[in-house]
Chain A
């Protein structure tokens, strides 16, 4: 409950900020930025990554920022990365180094960086700190960004639902009791059920984002439960490798995992971080950066699925395009009722849709929908 109060507070402050912007006199119709423009050649962009360029999650961020670099024509030395930074004082230290190096904007890509970034933002009001996956915003120089990856998971769920023969789909998930992870599971399951109402999703949580060995072992355990498609919300391609070794199929995450498991992989929900990085850094260059949060989806090109592989069932592409069109129309989203929990309780009524606060936190934190079983 406290969590949703927190989100309500943020939603309220955002609303107020919007209203303030909307009510401002016509002469300054745009919310003015507190930051001066920065000549492109003087620009320095920093990023603190929880992993390295070789793992799925951080690798996608790395590619995103590299995409920004190309789009804005920056030199290599203008983009500084801190790899493999744990969520401890080392995060603080890495942020300080990037400030010292003269970065005007610094990104951080892990949940646990949030409080370090919030505190250092107060100390250096002239530097912009932008945090991925959290929920805080100080209204001055600290915002956050994330994406509606659940939309892409829904689409991947369709591919899985079409493919399964046993009607049992395994899902290697990271952390329990978390809105991001459970939201992903639920969206995926809704996608599965949209084309295959009889299919169930078996979930195993491994309490880690990145553990190649455990990820594979968990996938093997799910395969032993008669699952024939393995989906995942963990960082490496090992679950897909396990599916391939068993002659079964799977949906990866973060990046196209077809090269890791060419005979197993169907499609993966993927991030296109470049769009949010390019937009924010361009704002820094133009002196138009404002502390607003980014929560973009399929429509804005922030999330998508990787190209369907040769392994998908016939008719998959059509079903996915149908669903994509519905989402892009803006009239329907994944979490539109009726939706029941796996305890049988109706949680979203027919015709209603979940608010963002209940997708990024609140209700979603502990929700698993009908047809999802924790194994």
Chain B
């Protein structure tokens, strides 16, 4: 038998970690992250406790800030739900960014070119077209995967850039607002904007909040209690098993990807018709990619995704306040967010794997 001379470390899969221990692990990771971030802040000459306090205050300190944090959570949580469906099937949809933006494009068409329609019909058409167009866009990599076995990670990733350039083209060309100045698409007319609901505690938030909360519940029920949801789980765990059980794997992949991309598209429609009110190439603003981290940290749980999306939004909002109050450059707050993510994702890794040295392995 070959015997290694060096005791090279290697990674082995860990057995089941008890939930309580797992949560302790994660809490510990967050603490270490905050400590590491604190050292970083202190090295720049800031008092880390004051900075963290201002982050928290900036995200949740006043009803207005709570409202803005909620408004950030809506599109992120919604996009995460879309990503989650595909990930459950182990279909690595990294194209949420583009699907989100394409949903916004579809909605913008009706908002800007069919504003004479009755408002209820207009909003419904905007939503439906966003789901369908983004869904069809998602079908492209799914079809290539089922037909030719292409790598969906790269495929969906590259489709993102195409959508961004479609928006640039529309903005500079056919959809350019004739009102002048720099190239921009027109502002949405009032009737094409999402209605707002008044919450006594935090003020007005667009109805996307309700849609998003409903979607969390529906995706949870869909995955947990329906036949289709079960099929997704089986295909995700082992495609061969699914085939052996007589499941139409290709159809399941296509259907699930349509849903996944469609939900991302709806998220885009809600963002453009809610707070943005105008189509820009920054409509997705990286949410499609952040959603991947959200879903991963939430361990593919819909409710968990909502919670993690909320925490991400708190962090984003908090970092913006940190910049205002301490005039810390934006790149610093990016680094801080990176540190937190690094440790928390690291904890997830160590919950599943451990590193051993070869010597410990019995001969």
Contact B275 A84 (CB under 8 A): no
Chain B 176-189 interface mask (CB, 8 Å, partner A; 1/0): 00111111100100
Alpha-carbon distance A7/B180, docked complex (angstroms): 10
The answer to whether A3 and B330 touch (CB under 8 A), given A100-B65, A115-B187, is no
The answer to whether A6 and B180 touch (CB under 8 A), given A87-B282, A89-B271, A97-B68, is yes
**Neighbouring B residues of A2 by C-beta, 8 Å:** 178-180
Q: Which of the 9-residue segments B15-23, B86-94, B154-162, B319-327 touches chain A?
A: B319-327
Contact B327 A53 (CB under 8 A): yes
Alpha-carbon distance A99/B67, docked complex (angstroms): 14
In the complex, residue of chain B having the shortest beta-carbon distance to the beta carbon of A361:
B180
Main secondary structure of the interface of A (DSSP, over half): helix
Contact B324 A81 (CB under 8 A): yes
Alpha-carbon distance A112/B183, docked complex (angstroms): 10
**Neighbouring A residues of B282 by C-beta, 8 Å:** 86-88
Alpha-carbon distance A96/B274, docked complex (angstroms): 15
**Neighbouring B residues of A88 by C-beta, 8 Å:** 275-276, 280, 282-283, 285
The answer to whether A92 and B275 touch (CB under 8 A), given A54-B329, A82-B324, A86-B285, is yes
The answer to whether A111 and B283 touch (CB under 8 A), given A84-B330, A93-B68, is no
In the complex, residue of chain B having the shortest beta-carbon distance to the beta carbon of A92:
B275
Contact B327 A111 (CB under 8 A): no
Q: How large is the interface on B (under 10, 10 to 19, 20 to 34, 35 or more residues)?
A: 20 to 34
**Neighbouring A residues of B67 by C-beta, 8 Å:** 96
Alpha-carbon distance A364/B175, docked complex (angstroms): 21
Alpha-carbon distance A86/B180, docked complex (angstroms): 20
The answer to whether A112 and B65 touch (CB under 8 A), given A2-B178, A2-B179, A92-B275, is no
Of B187, B280, B324, most A-chain CB atoms within 10 Å: B324
Chain A 106-149 interface mask (CB, 8 Å, partner B; 1/0): 00000110110001000000000000001100000000000000
Q: List 19 A-B contacts (CB under 8 A).
A: A2-B179, A7-B180, A81-B324, A83-B323, A83-B327, A83-B330, A84-B323, A86-B282, A88-B282, A88-B283, A89-B274, A93-B71, A93-B72, A99-B64, A100-B62, A111-B181, A135-B180, A135-B181, A361-B181
- 18 new A-B contacts, CB < 8 A, other than A83-B329, A97-B68, A112-B184, are A2-B179, A7-B180, A54-B329, A83-B323, A83-B324, A83-B327, A86-B282, A88-B276, A89-B71, A93-B68, A93-B71, A93-B275, A100-B62, A111-B182, A177-B183, A178-B181, A178-B183, A179-B180
Binding site for B on A (CB under 8 A): 2-3, 6-7, 52-54, 80-84, 86-90, 92-94, 96-97, 99-100, 111-112, 114-115, 119, 134-135, 175, 177-179, 361, 365
